Each structure stands twice: as C-alpha cells, then as structure tokens.
Amino acid sequence: QLILGIETSCDETAVAIVKNGKEIVANIVASQIESHKRFGGVVPEIASRHHVEQVTLVLEEAFRQGEVGIEDIDAIAVTEGPGLVGALLIGVNAAKALAFAHNIPLVNVHHIAGHIYANRLVEEMKFPLLSLVVSGGHTELVFMKEHGHFEVIGETRDDAAGEAYDKVARVLGLPYPGGPHIDCLAHEGTPDLDLPRAWLETGSYDFSFSGLKSAVINSVHNAEQRGEKIAPETLAASFQASVVDVLVTKAVQAAKEYKVKQVLLAGGVAANKGLRTALTTAFNDLKDVQLVIPPLSLCTDNAAMIAAAGSILFDKGKRADLTLNGNPGLDISIHN
C-alpha cells in the first residue's frame, strides 16, 4: 500500500509517499521560514502564496525521489485542519485535483493526528497509549485506546508551548522561530532564575504558559530598571526548565493514571533537546511504559506523518469526497 501525503497547514509545503503506513518512500518539505522571518511570525497571505508556487514542484520532487508514479498510489491523505484556512485550501485542492483526475481515494487527516502518527514511522503503536503533543499551536495530552480514537485529557488554557518559546525568544531578541534558539542558549546557561510553574488544580492535565511568559518579561524589565541585565543563557535555561518540568511531570502522572503501554512525543517542540532528555530520564524509571521520540525531521511539520495517519484511516474505511474543504478549527476528538 502506498499513500501520498500532502500537508500545507502552516508555513511548510510538504509532500510524502509512505509504504504500509510505516516506511518512508519520499519525504519533501519546502519551508518558508526565510520569507516570514523578517515579520517575526507567519504571515498568512504570504504562506498561501508560497504554497501555490511550491505545491506542484514539491509533488513532482516527491514522485522523483520515491521513484513511483501517481498510478502506484492507493490513496491521497491530506491535512484538513487545523491551520491557516488559506494555506490549508492549497493542499486540499491539490489533493482533490489529483484524486479526481486519477480516480484515487481521498482521506482527510487532522494535523495533530498526523503529528502523533509520526511515531508510527519509528515504532509500532501499542494501545492504550498517551501522546504528549507540543507544537506551535497546541499543547495537549491525548489518550488513545485504539487507532483513530483521540481523547484530549488535558490542553493548554492559553499559549501553546511553542508559542511561549517563540514569544520569549522575541523578548531575548532571537530570530523567528525562536524555539530552537532558546533550546541552544538554555544548554549554555543554568536555571538560576526562579520562574513559576503552572500546575493548576490537583489532578488537572491542563497547561498554562502565559503566566510564565509574563514572568520572563517582568524579570527582564525589573532587572533593566535596576540597571542590571540577566544573562540570556540564564533566562533561556530557567524558562526551559519551567516548561520541561511541567510537561514531564504531567505526562508521567497521566501515563500512570491511564496505565498506558506507550508514551509518544509529538509536535515541533518535541525537537527540544531539554525535553527529550528529561522525558527519557523520567520514563527510564517507569519500566512498563515505552517512550517513543521521533527523529527531529519528523517532529516539525511534514507530510510523512499525514500519510502515516492517513494509512490507518484509509484501512478503517475513512474517505473524503470532493466537497472536502479546509477546516481551520477542526476538532481531533471527532476525527476517526
């Protein structure tokens, strides 16, 4: 079985071909970061225009790299949402055009389901499992009792982890996207600054990062007023320590309560070295839970993850018709 995956939800135009839901045959990502950098964030209109320019080229490149033709494809999996509506529409329409022209089944995929299924390209999934999703727009703990079943047991009440990283990076004068820069800086400093951790109510698996973000900004301003300056490495290390502490603690608690067999790390912030190390250490002590962490290239947006999720949904009989539209607010819990 060969699935073609198409992903254009944000600022990456991505196409991949995946065999049997697990094996990457081709994986092409055209990033637009350079075009958005000078604006300090993704500009939706620019993103859509780039997707239009890139999508055909990226498709051709994927077929070239995979050494397969469109006639070999069993289904086309495309990101339906969530994301930027204008960006989503480009991928959805490319997928619909190919599906219609070549009479190939079409499968709509939730972007976060894709991030979670990136793990299936690394390791077979064992249920029940828990996924810690940490990305630019999402921070949530998702419980899965079987393929295609997603239950959000906790989520952020304000900023997503990646969003907090990018906003703090801005305060430190680092380029967009700031996550990787803070990660590097954090490793050069020590977490000496005492920053808050939002544990919320006992037993809650929800998150909150806006208070932490404000605390970092206040620390910088208060130091300035005293005519002092906190070393950026110290700020980065302290901020990262706070984020990682909460994410790891809640993931461990949830893994125990839900008695899961696996914990899957997912989303762009899964590329964070501090988070990867802390999770690995924490789950070393939990012998009956297997921690799976995807390689860096499968953490940030790509289409192999969409094809991997699409493969399972296709096997379960899920199909989209040509009325499929981009859905910026798509809910994962009804996605099966």
Tokens at 58, concatenated:
């990226």
**How far is the C-alpha of 152 from the C-alpha of 154, rounded, in Å?**
6
Sign of the C-alpha dihedral computed for residues 111, 54, 18 and 269 taken in this order:
negative
Contact 244, 281 (CB under 8 A): no
What is the total residue count of the chain?
Answer: 336
Considering the complex, state which of residue 111 and residue 250 has its C-beta at the smaller distance from ligand ATP. 111
Considering the complex, state which of residue 21 and residue 137 has its C-beta at the smaller distance from ligand ATP. 137
Nearest-approach distance from CB 138 to ligand ATP, in angstroms: 4
Nearest-approach distance from CB 223 to ligand ATP, in angstroms: 24
Interaction site with ligand ATP (CB under 6 A):
9-10, 83, 111, 115, 135-138, 162, 165-166, 177-180, 183, 267-269, 271-272, 300-301
Q: Quote the DSSP letter at residue 320.
A: B
Given Mg ion, Fe ion, ligand ATP, none, residue 140, with its beta carbon under 5 to 8 Å by kind, binds none
Given Mg ion, Fe ion, ligand ATP, none, residue 166, with its beta carbon under 5 to 8 Å by kind, binds ligand ATP
Contact 24, 95 (CB under 8 A): no
Tokens at 214, concatenated:
């404000």
Considering the complex, state which of residue 166 and residue 206 has its C-beta at the smaller distance from ligand ATP. 166
* 301 lines the binding site for Mg ion (CB under 5 A): yes
* 160 lines the binding site for Mg ion (CB under 5 A): no
Q: Which of 3, 6, 10, 133 binds Mg ion (CB under 5 A)?
A: 10
Interaction site with Fe ion (CB under 5 A):
135, 301
**How far is the C-alpha of 145 from the C-alpha of 155, rounded, in Å?**
18
Q: In this chain, which residue has its C-beta nearest to ligand ATP?
A: 268
Count the alpha carbons within 13 Å of 317 in the hemisphere toward its beta carbon.
Answer: 0
Nearest-approach distance from CB 135 to Mg ion, in angstroms: 8
Q: Starting at the edge strand that comes first in sequence, how are the strands of the sheet with 129-134 ordered?
A: 151-155, 139-144, 129-134, 262-266, 290-292
Binding site for Mg ion (CB under 5 A): 10-11, 301
